[in-house]
Amino acid sequence: MFGQANVLAAGQAAFPPSVEDFYLPSILPWGAHDSYWFTKITAMVWIAVGVLIIFFLATYRKPQLVPTKKQWLAESIYGFVRNNIAVEMIGHAGVRFAPYFTTLFCFILLTNFFAIVPLFQISPNSHIAFPAFLAVISYVMFIWVGIRHHGFGKFVKNSLIPPAPWYILPLLIPIEFFSTFLVRPFSLAVRLFANMFAGHMLLLVFTLGGFAMLSANAWLAPVSVLSWVMTIALTFLEFLVICLQAYVFTVLTASYVQGALADEH
Partner 1 sequence: MAGDQTPRPSGGPDDTPTGAGQGWTALSYLIGGMLVWGFVGWLVDQWLDTGGIATGIGVVLGMAGGIILVVRRLGTPT
Contacts to partner 1 by CB under 8 A: 87-94, 162-164, 168, 171-172, 174-176, 178-179, 183, 187, 255, 258, 265
175 or 237: whose CB is closer to partner 1?
Answer: 175
* Smallest gap from residue 181 Cβ to partner 1 (A): 11
Distance of closest approach, residue 248 Cβ to partner 1, in angstroms: 10
Q: Can you tell me the distance from the alpha carbon of 151 to that of 109, in angstroms, rounded to the nearest whole number?
A: 34
Identity of the residue, 129 or 175, whose beta carbon is nearer to partner 1 in the bound complex? 175
Q: How much of the chain is helix, strand and coil, in % rounded to 5?
A: 75, 0, 20
Rank residues 27 and 248 by Cβ distance to partner 1 and give the closer one: 248
CB of 121 to partner 1, least distance (A): 31
- Rounded CA-CA distance 193/181 in Å is 19
Residue 219 backbone dihedrals phi, psi, to 5 degrees: -70, -35
Q: Which is nearer to partner 1, 20 or 263 (CB)?
A: 263
Judged by beta carbon, residue 69 or residue 92, the one nearer partner 1 is 92
CB-nearer residue toward partner 1: 2 or 167? 167
Show contacts of 151-155: CB within 8 Å, 24+ apart. Answer: 155/260
CA distances from 130 to 45, 81, 193 (A): 9, 21, 8
With beta carbons less than 8 A apart as the criterion, state whether 22 and 126 touch: yes
Return the SS3 of 35.
coil
Phi-psi region of 48 (alpha: psi -120 to 50; beta: other; left: phi over 0): alpha
CB of 177 to partner 1, least distance (A): 8
Toward partner 1, which CB reaches closer, 77 or 93? 93
Min separation Cβ 116 and partner 1, Å: 26
Least Cβ distance, residue 247 to partner 1 (angstroms): 12
Least separation in angstroms between residue 188's CB and partner 1 is 12
d(CA 45, CA 110): 9
SS (H, E, C) 161-211: CCCCCHHHHHHHHHHHHHHHHHHHHHHHHHHHHHHHHHHHHHHHHHHHHHH
